[in-house]
Each structure stands twice: as C-alpha cells, then as structure tokens.
Structure 1
Amino acid sequence: MMGASREALDAARERLVALTDNTGVDAAALATDLAAVTGLLDRETSLRRVLTDPAQAGERKAELVRRLLTGQVGGEAVDLVSGTVRSRWSSSRGLVDAIEELADTADLIAAERAGVLDSVEDELFRFGRVVSTSPELRAALSVKDDSPAAVSAKAGLVRELLSGRVQAVTERLVIRLVERPRGRSLDAGLNALSTMAAARRNRSVAVVTSAVPLDDRQRQRLGDALARLYGRPVQLNLDVDPAVVGGISVRIGDEVIHGTVADRLDEVNRRMAG
C-alpha cells in the first residue's frame, strides 16, 4: 500500500481492536458484516471511488456509509466502516483490501476468544498443503467465473471437504477466499490467512520442509534457534518432501534459509554451468 493507505489501515486496525475489546461485541457477526461490505465495494466501482475521493470531506463520506449500511449490517460494522472512510486512501482498492482484512481479523479474534486460534492456524496451513499438492482441487476452487452458480459450486466444495472436520472459523475464512479471491491465488490467500492467525499470537510462521519428519527434540531445537534469531516466538509449520534429499529448508515470509542437500547440489550445478 502507498503511504496514505498504510496509515489509514493502521488506524482501522486500531479501531477494530478497540471495538472488539468489548466482549459484548460478537466478533464473528462483525466479520460476516464486514465481509458483506467488502463484497458491496468490490462490485460497486463508483461507490468505492466516491468513498476514497480526497476532494470529498471525511464526514460527508461517513454519512454516505451510514445511509447505505444502516439496517443492512450491524451497528458496529457501520461505525467501523464509517470511521475508516474518513481516513485518506491512496487508492480505492486499498480501502476494499483494508475492510477485507478487518473481516478476516474479526473472525480470528472470534477464534481467539473461543480458544481455537491454534487449531485455525494449523488447519489453514494444512488445507494450503492439500491445495498445493492437488492441481485438480486448486483448479476447481480457482475457477475464474463470478456467476452465482460457479461461486456457489466452489463454496459447496469447500463445505463438502471441511464441514465437521475443521473449526467453523476456518471454514468461513476459506469459503470467503474462494468466493472472492480478488486477484489472489488460492495458495497466496491461504498463506496470508495463516500468517494473520500467527500474528494474532505475536509470532512468526516458519514453513519447514524436510526429507523426513522431524522428531520432538529436533522441532524444539529448531524453534528455539529461530526464536533467538528473530526475537519472537516462531510457529513451525512442517512439510515433508522427499525431493529435498536431506537437511531442511525454512521459509519465513520472503526469507528462505537453505539447508538441504538438494539446495547444495543445485548450487554446485549452477557453478559448473557458469
């Protein structure tokens, strides 16, 4: 995001935290309402342009939001979105991205309150692994068709795969992602959600790929080493891939720590080729 949108998003995050600090607020219902607003703004190009027009007064934009949304979504969502449009946004897409993030965060807050955030984080990662290793499933859930029938089919497939097997929050998050990918790949969207879940616990996520499963002692040593390196707790999401031959490879965000035999063989081949 550009500077103005980053500042506006930070302010929106703070408003969401302040709002959900009140345990009387139903975070899951708020997430559903914010997701509905995301869908509205994603469809209505002219509306989101008006709401991010720097020539329009912030209070005028907030009043427009109140007129449009009151009675359609809960009061908490109306207040949050009207406050958000008062800020200055660098682009109309930035506003929609922000409200979508607020919806996902509200669902993760609901999971945190229910004591199932760890499970949600793990389930998102595991489903991401399933998708990444199944081209047929990825294709079925990534069909570029916005017709109601196609969207309903994708949501139905997610329910068939996940209902009763994962937390309700996990199912909601994945369904929203496949219904409205908004230009993201399914893999990238699932990875982003998993990272957001980890951030709720103030920790980083490390995707660890090894040739064979790590035992408890190895996981503990690796987790401790990464925590010292990054200065915060690190959640290990473990993946086994015999193709790495030996050792491990660790990815945290955009940073990759190479330590596999396959990596070293690739490096030798590159040097010989050069």
Structure 2
Amino acid sequence: MSSDHPVSGVAGRYATALFELADEQSALDAVAADLASINAMLNESEDLKRLVRSPVFSAAEQGRALTAVLDKAGVSALVKNFCGLVIRNRRLFVLPEMISAYTSILAAKRGEITADVTSAHPLGDQQVESLKAALKSATGRDVMINTKVDAGLLGGLVVKVGSRMIDSSLRTKLNSLKIAMKEAS
C-alpha cells in the first residue's frame, strides 16, 4: 500500500487496491464515476442501503441483487468485479466507506481537497461553482465539493474542509442569539 494515500483500515485497503488497479488500466475517472453512481443509489434507496448493511442476507443473495443493480446502472467490469470481491469477503457493509476512501485517494493524487457542504436547500450549479472558486482562493488548491441538504439549517451553509468548519447556518446564528439573550437576562 502506498504511504501517500490518506486512508487506513479495511476501507482504505480495499480502496487502495481498487485505485491501483484502476490506475494500471487508466480508468481512474471511470471508476470514480461508477463509484459516485453507486453512492448516489445508496443515498436514494433505503432497500439498497439495507442490502448493503444487513448481515441477514447471504453473500449469494447480496451478489445476485447487487449484480442486477450494477448491470442496470451500466457499471464497468472492474467495479463489478471489485464489488463481487467485497461481497465474497463479507465486507459489503463497508462499501460506502470504501467509496469515500477511493475518492480521497484520487483527490490526493490530483492535489485536490474535498469540502463537505451542507445547505438548507439544494445548491444550483452556479452556486456550487462560486463556492468552489471561493474555496480555491481561500485554500490555494482545487476543491471538490460534496453537497448535502439539511432543511433543519433553515438557511445558510455549513462548510467543512479538512478539520476546519465554517458554520454560517441560520440555525446556528439563531442558537447563538438565543444564548446571548439568556445571558443578558
């Protein structure tokens, strides 16, 4: 395992192996796209999440079900074989972490950093591009953005880049105001 990869544990070992295979086949971006597609499906389907996480399903059941999903999604043979290996080794429950680790390894190779952005409403393409530009100017590096929606924020953003977090959400501002008002009374 390469020492310059910023991941560890089971997910890191599997992701590193997949990364090295993808690199050998000049398929880093194709694999990243397939993994992003799988991750999106996992986020959208409670049934698929249950299939991946539940130890109740046998490896054969998980294999049949996931193969059908991956075939329908048009995922590459490399990623299908990788998922098959993960299933045979009874590590499918770690797949979301493997996907995240692969993304981290690829970003590190490209000199990118990842920002996790949570907003109260879905961000438009223009907003994402503006945010990327602002973060690039602040960090001096290309930034890949993972977006998430949390209606509980009411408004504003929570941006996490590495260990730094910028919380400009309306919820946090209201909570701060509430605390200040309690102290004043």
- Provide the TM-score with structure 2 as the length reference: 0.70
- Kept in 2, the 8 Å contact 1:9–1:98? The answer is no
Map of 2:134 onto structure 1:
225
1:102-181 matched pairs, under 5 angstroms: 102-110=16-24, 113-114=26-27, 117=29, 119-132=30-43, 134-144=45-55, 150-168=58-76, 169-180=78-89
- Kept in 1, the 8 Å contact 2:11–2:101? The answer is no
- Kept in 2, the 8 Å contact 1:212–1:242? The answer is yes
Map of 1:85 onto structure 2:
none
Alignment identity in percent? 22
The answer as to 2:169 corresponding to 1:260 is yes
Map of 2:114 onto structure 1:
205
Distance 1:223 1:183, change over 3 A: same
Map of 1:238 onto structure 2:
147
Question: Which residue identity does 2:17 align to in structure 1?
Answer: A
Distance 1:142 1:98, change over 3 A: closer
How far is 1:134 from its partner?
A: 4.1
1:30-69 matched pairs, under 5 angstroms: none
CA distance in 2, matches of 1:210, 1:269: 21
Larger Rg: 1
- Provide the TM-score with structure 1 as the length reference: 0.51
Kindly provide the CA deviation profile for residues 60-117 of structure 1, in whole angstroms up to 9, marking residues without a partner as x. Answer: xxxxxxxxxxxxxxxxxxxxxxxxxxxxxxxxx97x8876454222233156x24x60
- Kept in 1, the 8 Å contact 2:42–2:48? The answer is yes
Map of 1:191 onto structure 2:
100
How far is 1:158 from its partner?
A: 1.9
Question: Which residue identity does 1:124 align to in structure 2?
Answer: L
How far is 1:222 from its partner?
A: 0.9
Of 204-213 and 163-172, the range deviating more from structure 2: 163-172
Counterpart secondary structure, 2:60? helix
Distance 1:230 1:125, change over 3 A: farther
CA distance in 2, matches of 1:261, 1:231: 28
- Kept in 2, the 8 Å contact 1:132–1:187? The answer is no
- Aligned CA-pair RMSD: 3.8
How far is 1:233 from its partner?
A: 0.8
Question: Which residue identity does 2:67 align to in structure 1?
Answer: R
- Kept in 2, the 8 Å contact 1:247–1:261? The answer is yes
